Amino acid sequence: MAMIDEPLYPIAVLIDELKNEDIQLRLNSIRKLSTIARALGEERTRKELIPFLSENNDDDDEVLLAMAEELGVFIPYVGGVEHANVLLPPLETLCIVEETCVRDKAVESLCRIGAQMREQDLVEFFIPLLKRLAAGEWFTARVSSCGLFHIAYPSAPEALKTELRTLYGQLCQDDMPMVRRSAATNLGKFAATVEAPHLKVDIMSMFDDLTHDDQDSVRLLAVEGCAALGKLLEPQDCIAHILPVIVNFSQDKSWRVRYMVANQLYELCEAVGPEPTRSDLVPAYVRLLRDNEAEVRIAAAGKVTKFCRILNSELAIQNILPCVKELSTDSSQHVRSALASVIMGMAPILGKDATIEQLLPIFLSLLKDEFPDVRLNIISKLDQVNQVIGIDLLSQSLLPAIVELAEDRHWRVRLAIIEYIPLLASQLGVGFFDDKLGALCMQWLKDKVYSIRDAAANNVKRLAEEFGPDWAMQHIVPQVLDMINNPHYLYRMTILHAVSVLAPVMGKDITCSKLLPVVINASKDRVPNIKFNVAKVLQSLIPIVDQSVVEKTIRPCLVELSEDPDVDVRYFATQALQSSDQQMMMSS
Amino acid sequence: MNGGDEVVTAPAGPPQPLDWKFSQVFGERTAGEEVQEVDIISAIEFDKTGDHLATGDRGGRVVLFERTDTKDHDALRRDLERTDHPINRHPEFRYKTEFQSHEPEFDYLKSLEIEEKINKIRWCQTANRALFLLSTNDKTIKFWKVQEKKVKKISEMNLDPPKAVGNGCVASSSNSNSPTLCLANGGSSGNDFSFPPGGLPSLRLPVVTSQETNLVARCRRVYAHAHDYHINSISNNSDGETFISADDLRINLWNLEISNQSFNIVDVKPANMEDLTEVITSAEFHPTHCNMLAYSSSKGSIRLIDLRQSALCDSHAKLFEEPEAPGSRSFFTEIIASISDIKFAKDGRYMLSRDYMTLKLWDINMDSGPVSTFQVHEYLRPKLCDLYENDSIFDKFECCLSGDGLRVATGSYSNLFRIFGCAPGSTEATTLEASKNPMRRQVQTPSRPSRSLSSITRVVRRGAETSGVDANGNSFDFTTKLLHLAWHATENSIACAAANSLYMYYA
């Protein structure tokens, strides 16, 4: 047992804990691996620490994950790029472990190291490692290998390049679906490094294999490959090779594959260009919008605006709009809800006339939907349509919808509509708001559910911000302050909360003249909860009002509360007094 | 997934009946030994290679066995998977390890006790020498990893172990930020530590000496809170990333890596529970087609569904039912029609189902009726009334197919199990007893065969009303039932459970 100098003690502990029984301590040591490495020096890190870590491959997954991550940034500690290859063996063993997240991290770290390695080192060390993994006995090794090709390939000499392409082709046909999935996932990255002639031949034939795979899970990933490959190919090759695949996928037997197409179609359109989009992808998209599986329609409906944006408005009106009309009365509420969340965005694309003529009836029918989420989604995007046609055409239908949502028996629905009130207020303008919505905002302050009351208080503040203190003084503050006399203490507490959030917006004059007296009054409340909330509110008002007001009004009130029989009241009053002291010291 | 090349390539004429021999027994009862309830085996499963066998019991334990006779342990695994050559030696297994998979629980919301009994075990893809399996009780599915770990013996350390222990607070202070020494900000140059360029020679890494290994089972994931009713089956998909779990009314689809969400793919719960006429009894994925799964019902039907068709598979793609023979209806018809287990053959073309009295083999291309029906214990038919009264009629017997698809097997009472040839023209029908002398039931002697001491005491203890002798001199004992059995993936070897004992036979 070595004697350790006093200053080295912590680092010695850190090293010993690499093998501690307690996983937390091991994890901690691994996270400080760079400190250990610097203590050992570059040479001993290479010769001792790294081999030591390579042995340590049967540790718990959490430790291995941390190790995989640390090794990715370890090049400076082993003596720079020319020694980077010593980091490969421990990462290679981590590429074979069973836990997916550890393997993924090891692959990520290998990529990071490989990207910095010198070309001759890549050929000498990295590519052999890749080949070992790709021919690995366990599928885990082969899965990991797929993610390394794009790093190795560019540096490989011609003969090796051919070999690597062949290897990847084999991985695309592996017995294990896990390996084929990994090959499909990484195909785009690998293809980006392959030279054009090989891309058209080798990569496309691998892609072809994957698109015909028996396993749905592999074909799903091949759908994503379409967009990636499409961007690499010349437009005419893309039309010849990728387009038919997309069209086929959009009619795949598996709804999950069609679902992926519905989600990705927008990117695929970009890959193939405008003309084929019009001739082939619009019909495919229309089919997806009318798919018999609701999940597919949900995905397709959610992309309707994005898709229309790349078409011209004429095509959109001609082809997409009829489907949108059908979807607005779809039997699945989730489809309607997905449509409602994006459909407002179509207004700017279609222009004013088409919006009024075609979209408005759809908006109105969705606003009357029996499912609250659908209505909420329409309301949440109101600003987009307002820009195109103005709110007047909608306001007649809007109000009943809002009122109904405001009184929905599910409090989450009420909460959601409150969140949109400031947006509505800004869109609808002061006049409309005063007439119709003001009363609702007050009503929420007296809701049975705390979250609603809380949100209502914040809503009052946001309205004051939107329309200004003068308006608030007229339309909000008196009504709010009236409610401080509510017989139920919970409602009185809501008002105190509203006062504390309103004060900064209203400014010190109104605060002193209107808000503060109400709070001071409330300090005489018989319920201790009100009293300690008064203390909290007063504390929050201190920075807003003048020092003289603090001295004259706030502090005496707090002093009185600090002698209250209730322990909580005393506590919060004392807190407030202390903070006022600090305030004074800082300002003096 | 290799497709149909191992399919019944039936040779000219049916294969010869097999000559079954006793191979091994684990947990054999000694004379007069009382069976502990917790020790009773409740699940048996061979893995895909047949190199491992797992059993689960009512006490929530999973016991693993490994094959010892495979010639060349160093041979490439992939080769082993493929080889199908005849091996002269029969499979021999040894105890590998065991672990507590489930514990008894109490659901406070519903005031329900959740038993720890293992209902099903399924093996998952082996990776990097670690074994993976799913085990389930009534409510919770768990994903286990069993792995060899080196036993750590650290011989060299920087600090004397006692000193290190004594300074436990210092050791742990590197965990949180130590007040005196700032190690927390790792590698940056702004660190309080400055090390000489060559490093500090006095520091050394711990040296691990011992290379001994032991097996460790770790629960990697728990798939819970997705079933309102009791889980009766779990089954892996051929894609290697998903599996299903089925309870009485619903089937859920899971991703192995995601334990906090599952998708409901079948829901047979009626809006009004009083309209309930049928429950799901068993479900299994097709061995190669990732989109197909079959589930059986208490009414004796099997439904094949296609996951590609829609997200919620309430409408089946195919329904397999045997039309009821006219005039045969009785009080028991519906009860004994209930299917207790279904299994796909390895090639995926045939399905085997077990109801109370029969085994049925179905061709998935023919939904008009089973290809063949095998009577398991027809001599019990006159006794259905007794079986109903003592609840035995609700016993859930499992069934299994041989790897080559030429034979099927299932259990019965008195620790008997039956093996039938299902190749065209085969009349093979063997009855075996789960004991060291499996064939003695075949001996046609009017007198009862000599019994081992343990059996005699058992009969005496349990009294005569549950045990009797039928016209053929076969005794039957409703309390000793052979519910669980499994066929080796590639060879003619069967493992079956008689109470707490695991018997293995080969041919």
Domain boundaries in chain B?
Answer: 23-73+89-155+207-443+476-506
Note whether B158 contacts A41, CB cutoff 8 Å: no
Contacting residues of B for A103, CB less than 8 Å apart: none
Residue holding tokens 């003001």?
A438
* Closest by CA position to B500, among listed B59, B19, B45: B59
Give the helix ranges, DSSP H, for A328-391: 333-343, 346-354, 360-367, 372-380, 382-389
Contacts of A48 in chain B (CB under 8 A): 204-205
Cβ atoms within 10 Å, residue B265: 20
The residues near B159 (Cβ < 8 Å, ≥ 6 apart) are: A1, A4, A9, A12, A13, A16, B167
Q: Collapse the DSSP code of A114 into the 3-class scheme (helix H, G, I; strand E, B; otherwise coil) and give the result.
A: helix
Percentage of chain A modeled with pLDDT above 70: 99
B311 touches chain A (CB under 8 A): yes
* Residue from B131, B191, B203 to probe the interface with A (highest A Cβ count within 10 Å): B203
pLDDT in tens, A506-559: 988 899 998 999 999 999 999 999 999 999 999 999 988 888 888 899 999 999
Query: What was the pLDDT predicted at B452?
Result: 40
The CA distance from A290 to the nearest CA of chain B, in Å, is: 14
pLDDT tens for A234-282 read 888 888 889 999 999 999 999 999 999 999 888 888 888 888 888 889 9
Contacts of A178 in chain B (CB under 8 A): 125, 240-241
Does residue A4 sit at the B interface (CB-CB below 8 Å)? Answer: yes
Query: What is the C-alpha to C-alpha distance for residues B53 and A47, in angstroms, rounded to an integer?
Result: 43
pLDDT score of A473 more than 70: yes
Given A14, A217, A253, which is nearest B174 (Cβ)? A14
Closest CB from B159, B160, B290 relative to A13: B159
Residue bearing tokens 């089972």: B217
Q: Report the residue of chain B nearest A1, measured CA to CA.
A: B160
The set of residues, in sequence order, having a beta carbon less than 8 Å from that of A201 and lying 6+ positions away, is none
Mutant choice from A3, A6, A9, A13 vs B, greatest count of B C-beta within 10 A: A13
Dist CA A49 CA A89 (whole Å): 12
Mean pLDDT of B435-451: 55
Is the CB of B186 less than 8 angstroms away from the CB of A32?
A: yes
CA of A337 to nearest chain B CA: how many angstroms apart? 18
B-chain residue closest to A61, CA distance: B220
The verdict on a CB contact (< 8 Å) between A52 and B170 is no
Q: Cite the DSSP H helix spans in A273-332.
A: 274-276, 282-289, 294-302, 304-310, 313-315, 321-327
Which residues of B, range 34-93, sit inside 8 Å of A by Cβ? Answer: 76-78
Q: Based on C-alpha coordinates, what's the Rg of chain A?
A: 33
Residues from chain A that touch B172, judged by Cβ atoms under 8 A, are: 25
Buried/exposed B455-481: b ≥16 CB within 10 Å, e otherwise? beebbeeeeeebbeeeeeebbbbbebb
Q: Which of A212-216, A451-455, B315-319, B493-497 has the lowest mean pLDDT?
A: B315-319
Measured N-to-C along each axis, helices A9-16 and A33-40 cross at an angle, to the nearest 10 degrees, of 120
Cβ-proximal residues to B398 (8 Å cutoff; 6+ apart), any chain: B340, B341, B354, B410, B411, B483, B484, B485
Task: Judge whether B477 and B435 are in contact, CB under 8 Å.
Answer: no
Does A10 touch chain B if contact means CB atoms closer than 8 Å?
yes
CATH number for the domain whose boundaries are B23-73+89-155+207-443+476-506: 2.130.10.10
Q: Is residue B451 pLDDT above 80, yes or no?
A: no
Is the CB of A98 less than 8 angstroms away from the CB of B132? yes
CB-based contacts of B291: which residues, under 8 Å, 6+ apart?
A216, A254, B306, B307, B308
Residues written for chain A: 588
How confident is the model at residue B82, as a pLDDT? 54
Coil, strand or helix at A272: helix
| Minimal C-alpha gap between B335 and chain A (Å) | 37
pLDDT (0 to 100) of residue A410: 86
Q: Is B151 on the interface with A (CB under 8 A)?
A: no
What is the pLDDT, as a whole number, of residue B84?
53
With an 8 Å Cβ cutoff, are B186 and A96 in contact?
Answer: no
Which pLDDT score is estimated for A5?
62
pLDDT of residue A1: 44
Mean pLDDT calculated for residue range A403-415: 87
- The pLDDT assigned to B34 comes to 85
Q: Do B77 and A138 touch (CB under 8 A)?
A: yes
If we measure between CA atoms, which residue out of A116, A104, A32 comes closest to residue A68?
Answer: A104
Among B43, B89, B50, residue whose Cα is nearest residue B489:
B50
Do A32 and B174 make contact, defined as CB atoms within 8 angstroms? yes
Lowest mean pLDDT across A46-55, A255-264, A385-394, A446-455: A385-394
A177 touches chain B (CB under 8 A): yes
For residue range B330-363, list pLDDT tens digits in order. Answer: 889 999 999 999 999 999 999 999 999 999 999 9
